[in-house]
Structure formats: C-alpha cells, structure tokens
Amino acid sequence: MLGEGLSRYLLRRVATSAIALVGVCLLVFFLIHLIPGDPVDNMLGEMAPAAERTRLRKGLHLDEPLSAQLLRFARSMGDGSLGHSFRHVDRSVMSLIAEAFPYTLWLALAAMGIALLLALPLGVASALRPGTWVDGLAMTTSLLGVSIPNMWLGPMLLVAFSIHLAWLPGPAPNDPSAPAALLLPAITLGTALMAMLSRMTRASLLTVMGEDYIRTARAKGLSSWAVVLSHGLRNALIPVITVAGLQFGALLSGAIITEKVFGRPGLGTLLMRAITTRDYPVIQGTVLFLAFLYVLVNLLVDLTYGLVDPRIRRR
C-alpha cells in the first residue's frame, strides 16, 4: 500500500514537472521572437548588403515559419544539443552550457553555505531570547538582508573589500572558482536567503520548544544546550532544510545579476550575452536548462518530503 501511494505521488509530481518544462519551452520560444532586434543586424550590421543578409538568414533558418523553427528546437532537445549558437556556429548550446555551469554551481553552493552559516546562529539566538535585544538585533539583521538589493550590495562590497582594502579580488578574477574570488559574490547572493532562513529557524524553533517532549527532556535534567541541540533544533530544522533545498534551485537560476556585477563566467553571463546579441538558440537552451534545474531541485525536495511525511502523498 505504501509503495502504491508513493508511486502515484511520484508519477503525479513527475507529470506536473514535465508540463511545467513544456510550458517554459513554449513561452521562451515565442517571447524571444517578440523581442525587438534582429540577430542578422547584430551579426552583419544594418548596412550589410541585402543578398548577404538573406544568405545569413537562410543559413540560420530564420527564414522559416515559426512552426518549423519550433520543430527544429524540439529536435535539438531530443538529441541533447539544444541547437547551435548563432555566434559560435561550431559549438552546440549544450557545450556552452556545460562550460559555464560549473561556475554557477560553485557560486550557488558557496552562497547556500554562507546563508546557512549565518541564518542558523541568528535564528537560534533569536528563538532562545525572544523579546530581548538579542532577538531584536537578529531580526533587524535579517530584515536588512532581505531589503538590500543585490545590484547595490555587490558594488558596495567590491568598493570596500576590493578597491579600498584590497583584501579580495575584484571583478573578473583570474580564477573564478578560488575561495577568495567566491566570497563576495556568495555573500551578495546568499544574503537574502540568509534573512529568510533565519526567520524560519526562529519561528520553527519557537514552536518546537513548546512541545511536550521538550518539557520531558528538561524534566530529565538535561542541560539547556542538550535540550536545544539534541531535541529542539534537530526537529526544527526539517522545514528549514526543505525551504533551503527549494531555494537552492532559485540560487542556480537567480545568479544572473550577481555574475554580471562581479564579471564572473556562468550561466547568467552566458544568458545576458546571448540576449544582447539576439542569439536565439543560446537564450532558449539556457533558459530551458535553468528551468530544468529549478524543477528538478523542487521535484527532489518534494519527493524526499513525501518519503518522510506520508500525509504529503495523499494530496
């Protein structure tokens, strides 16, 4: 019975994820053809001879109707190449994504690590001292974290730590995966997530600390730290970890501004460059890949939660 319920839940979640990806494909395909600008103009210039423009347009298959272009895009998804770049005709879109993805992955992992390292102590301290100056300071810090936009925080960190103090590398570092080069972008990207997770940790721990098993643990004579760490925090972290997993997909797809500010290679930089040059296959492939990552992470978190909590499988 358990296996049957889990199988139905799995099929339902996979089906909804597949529908979401199909919707993203169609939406991205039609929207990029509505964006003002012409890839041929970007590649040859507006003053290029008409014959040369026609030849290039035919070579890029832009002279075909949208239905034929959509079918060509679907075939490229089937063979895994996601098409070929207009600017790099000898490179498939998937090869460009594979080259850029590790930099985005390392940035997202570093941002998540910083967010958790800051959020958990703030949330625990706030929950253990509710209504005190400690609680006020922790919640003010989290409020600032969620209020400061990345496009402002990133340049300010660069000015302070790269230009004035010269402690950390500036934009476009020689080794983008080095820990020193990852620190400032990771802080910029992880600050808003830190604010969310710290507030959730506080709320969840406050709820857990009022449970009967916590009072039983105290009655057994356990120390306050043993009660909090062994009994309270372990159970309070279940929803926090769930949200952190869901937000990891958002980190992977939301690093565009941070990568641009810090001049880092990655999926965000690849996508912005493709939008600027109207490189349709790269735009389609990159957005589809980001959507796939987001849906995959959400699906894995949902399935894990379904394994832990049988009530979820009945929804």
Q: Spell out the domains of the chain, with CATH numbers in brackets.
A: 101-302 (1.10.3720.10)
- Give pLDDT, residue 108: 87
- Give pLDDT, residue 1: 45
- Give pLDDT, residue 220: 67
Cα distances (Å, whole numbers) of residue 100 to 53, 207, 255: 31, 42, 12
- Give pLDDT, residue 26: 84
* pLDDT tens digit sequence for 53-90: 777 777 777 777 888 888 888 888 888 788 888 877 77
Report which of residues 80 and 1 the model is more confident about.
80
What's the CA gap between 233 and 120, in Å, rounded? 10
Q: In the structure, what pLDDT confidence band is assigned to residue 224 with cuts at 50, 70 and 90?
A: low
- Give pLDDT, residue 254: 65
The answer, yes or no, to whether residue 312 has pLDDT greater than 60, is no
- Give pLDDT, residue 214: 67
- Give pLDDT, residue 215: 67
The answer, yes or no, to whether residue 101 has pLDDT greater than 60, is yes
Report which of residues 154 and 215 the model is more confident about.
154
Q: In the structure, what pLDDT confidence band is assigned to residue 22 with cuts at 50, 70 and 90?
A: confident
Across residues 204-226, what is the average pLDDT?
68
- Give pLDDT, residue 3: 56
Cα distances (Å, whole numbers) of residue 126 to 120, 148, 203, 205, 276: 10, 21, 9, 9, 45
**Hey, how many other C-beta atoms are within 10 angstroms of the C-beta on 134?**
15
Q: What's the pTM value of the predicted model, to 2 decimals?
A: 0.76
How many angstroms separate the first and last alpha carbons of the chain?
16
58 sits in the region (left: phi over 0; alpha: psi -120 to 50; else beta) called alpha
- Give pLDDT, residue 230: 65
Cα distances (Å, whole numbers) of residue 73 to 26, 32, 39, 93, 275: 10, 13, 17, 11, 17
The answer, yes or no, to whether residue 174 has pLDDT greater than 70, is no
92 forms beta bridges with 84
Across residues 11-23, what is the average pLDDT?
81
Task: Please state which of the ranges 6-10, 50-54, 180-184, 286-290 shows the lowest mean pLDDT.
Answer: 6-10
The answer, yes or no, to whether residue 236 has pLDDT greater than 80, is no
- Give pLDDT, residue 10: 73
Q: In the structure, what pLDDT confidence band is assigned to residue 149 with cuts at 50, 70 and 90?
A: confident
The answer, yes or no, to whether residue 7 has pLDDT greater than 60, is yes
